[in-house]
Structure 1
């Protein structure tokens, strides 16, 4: 299956990283998985130079960078949400403790 994906060129669409709607991803977009990055192979250029096709490598690197940016954004949002929830829980616990002390008096 992995070789088929590699041969057909699926999941190799460039990611928009600038401009309006840069963070939008259609339902057809599938983020890169670790095995796709590890096993990615590039075509050798036959245009007189030896080595990899620079455009293909750059497109892939932009996609990896976009996926990493999305992961870091999601992680940041998750950490902010966790901090908000913890603070709300602390406030609630303090209120409950104060109500319990007032009821005992």
Structure 2
């Protein structure tokens, strides 16, 4: 039982954020990394993948990743805008309460 808790404790150390459960060594894949990825050719006489199809797939995957990153950035900007508006509203409410003498 003691070993179980030690392992559980060790797993928690790799968490580097409130919602991210990946190890510190993990780095998200970027669209440019997908586009620049090259695969070795297969030796003569062996079967392999069609390089054109692989390139087409990687380009499509990179485009999808780019769209996801753009949507994430837009979402974060919107979140920041809403948080700022909420802070301003809260400040105005607190100021109005203090001027009225409310608690």
TM-score normalised by the chain length of structure 2: 0.54
Alignment partner, residue 92 of structure 2: 94
Structure 1's unaligned 5+ residue stretches are: 1-30, 47-51
Partner residue, 1:37: 34
Map Cα deviations across residues 32-81 of structure 1 (whole Å, 9 max, x no partner): 347843761145699xxxxx822111100000111111111111111111
| CA–CA distance in structure 2, aligned partners of residues 58 and 64 of structure 1 | 10
Compare relative contact order (CA 8 Å, sep 6+) and give the higher one, 1 or 2: 1
**2:57 is the counterpart of 1:59:** yes
- Give the number of the structure whose residues are more often helix, by fraction: 2
Segments of 5+ residues of structure 2 without an aligned counterpart are 1-27, 45-49
**RMSD, matched Cα:** 3.3
TM-aligned CA deviation for residue 101 of structure 1: 1.2
Give the 4+ runs in structure 1 shifted more than 6 A: none
Structure 2 residue aligned with 1:69, among 67, 70, 76?
67
- Tell me how far apart the structure 2 counterparts of residues 38 and 63 of structure 1 sit (CA, whole Å): 8
Aligned length: 70
Query: TM-score, structure 1 length as denominator?
Result: 0.53
